[in-house]
Each structure stands twice: as C-alpha cells, then as structure tokens.
Amino acid sequence: MRRIEIITMVMVLSFFTAVLSGCGNTADEDQTKYQPGPNRKVIIDTDTGADDACAIIMAARSSNLDILGVTTLAGNVELEQSTKNALAALEIAGCDAPVYGGSTENIMGESNVVFSVFGKDGMGEADLIHPVKAAEQGDAVDFILDTVRKNPDEIEIIALGPTTNIAKAIQKDPETMRRVKRIWSMGTAGQGPGNATPVAEFNVYGDPEAYKIMLDSGINITVVGLDMCGKEAQWTNAQFEELSGSGEIGEFVTKSFAKIRDFYAMNGSADSVMNCDTLAMTCVIYPDFITDTVQCHGSCIVEPGETFGEVLFYKKGHTYDVATNNYDYNVTLVSGVRASDYFNLFLDTL
C-alpha cells in the first residue's frame, strides 16, 4: 500500500473514532498539561441552567467520567424545563446517559422558589432546547439509591444545584447512602461572600435544610464555593467569542449564556461572568486543577433571618477562642484552583 493511502486511512479512522465516541471518551489528553484522574462512575444532580448544562457537556466529553445518569430538580427553572435542558446538553455532547426527574418541592414539602438569571428557559432564551430523547419514567431519588446499591463505594454524585434529591435519598435509605464514595457540591460561599444574600449562595439558599442533611450525613463531601469562581476564573467576552467559533457545542454554550452576560453587564461587570458549575466539574475531572483544600466540618444555618442559608466551616485542627471545635470533618473545602487555566481546560474537551 502506498504511503499516501496509509495516511488517508489513518485520518479517516481517526475521524470516525472521534465521531462515534459517546460519554466520556473524547478528551484529547495531548492538548493539555493536565491528566484526568482515574475512571469513575458518577451521577450528576442538577437544576439545569446554562452553567449546569455547560458542566454536563464537559463531563460528557471527558475521558474519565462514566455518567450513569443525570437527576434533575427545580431551581434555576421548573422541573420540566430543567429536565429538557439536561437532555439537550447530553445530546449535543453526544452522550446517551439516562435522565430522571426529581424534586419540585424542598425538603420541607414547600414548592421550590424558581429563580433564573439565565432567562426564562434557563438557557439564554435562544431557542436551543429541542431534545429528541425523553426522560426516564423512574424517580430521581429511587434511581440514586438503586445505582448506589448496585455499585457500593463506587458512585460519586456531582451536585450542581440545591441538594433536595440527595437529602431525600439520605432520609429514605441512610444506610445505602453511606456507601456513596463522595459527593461533589458546587455550593456555599466558600470563604467569601454569597450571591443569594450577602452570606448565602444560591444552591444552598434554595434548600438549606437539604444541605444540612447532606452535611450531617457523614458522607465524604468536597465543596467548591463561590470564592473559587471570581477574578481569573471568570470567562471574558473574548473567551466567549473564541468558544463560539470552536464549533457547534461552543456556539450552544455561548448562546446559553446570553442572558446572564446581560445580567452581569447591568450590574457593572460588562466583560466577564462566573461559570461556577463548570469550574466545579473541572475540579472533579482534573485533580491537579485543585491547588489547596481545607478539611472542615460544615454547619448550615436553617433558622430564618439574615444568615439563612449560610454555611460555616470549622477547620480541622483550628482552636477558636469561644466556639467548640469537636466535630466530624467530612467536608473537603476547595480553597485554591489554577484559575488561569480553567477556560482552556474546558475548551480542550470540545
């Protein structure tokens, strides 16, 4: 066979290999100095706005996450829209993971208060959401429990919204949930200010009682707070322009962020926006992206008042003047990331 024929055959095979890859097999590790961690089985729990969808796409395009399912709830948008957004994100990423609808009410049985800075559909009001596939018939909480039972000590849950589904699973079968390997939570203000209130972050504020149940469960939890998402980690207009020109997925993500970019501009930040859920997903995929952590006990304030939804972190080994510090330290609080590398790590997955 002539040399040019061999080269042509290799190029064709490479193309079809990329096209046919589904969930978790498309990242080009040669394009980044970071290496994904070992292969892991995950469930993504989400109230799917544009930032959640972006994180789902990154997970689906990564080489080391096996997405066993996506569970949805109301938060950024109503449950039905949240589910459709998750389905659309998976489809554009080329992933056929099942999606299960979950909570429309908080852990106290009250209807979730839906609030979105991403537009009415949570996805920039850009007519992006036309999923072909429908959600599964089962319930999100039952799916979480069944999956953990089948894969004890292997499942990591990535929580991108309020933790109502997770708290309900803990209440329904705490013994099974103790076999969850780890929960990754994009939640809390970390060691900085909040966004729902001066001290509370949106996901926690959406259901503080559920967050408290999760923190008190004894399950190993890694928390990525708002304080990791500012400054160098924010995505700029120039980066969105680059993303939009990178292909169909990049254009999808850029359009989905249109309304939140308008929201930031009205609040004096015309050049950049936070994308916290995808930053949390970057922490999951790339262990070397995290530079510092603090082992803590997390305490969520559920009493009504100005501090409602705030999470306090008691640092292991730290002595306070008055407060006692004798707790279980099941929370790993991310306190440092390589923020300047964040956008390019996402872009590399596309």
Residues 6+ apart with CB under 8 A from 138: 100
Judge whether 59 and 44 are in contact, CB under 8 Å.
yes
Q: Give the catalytic positions in this structure.
A: 47
Residues 6+ apart with CB under 8 A from 287: 37
The secondary structure of 318-334, three-state, reads CCCCCCCCCCCCCEEEE
- The closest of 279, 149, 272 to 223, measured between CA atoms, is 279
Helices 248-256 and 50-61, axial angle in degrees (round to 10)? 160
Residue 277 three-state SS: helix
Taking the C-alpha atoms of residue 245 and residue 55, their distance in angstroms, rounded to an integer, is 19
Taking the C-alpha atoms of residue 254 and residue 235, their distance in angstroms, rounded to an integer, is 11
Bridge-based pairing state of the strands 40-46 and 65-72: parallel
- The closest of 191, 169, 211 to 309, measured between CA atoms, is 211
- The closest of 71, 312, 75 to 206, measured between CA atoms, is 75
DSSP E strands in the chain: the ranges are 40-46, 65-72, 99-101, 155-159, 182-186, 221-224, 235-236, 272-273, 290-300, 311-315, 331-337
Taking the mean position of all CA atoms in its chain, how far away is CA 222? 12
Establish how many alpha carbons lie within 13 A of residue 50's alpha carbon, considering only the half-sphere containing its beta carbon: 29
Bridge-based pairing state of the strands 65-72 and 290-300: unpaired
Taking the C-alpha atoms of residue 35 and residue 284, their distance in angstroms, rounded to an integer, is 12
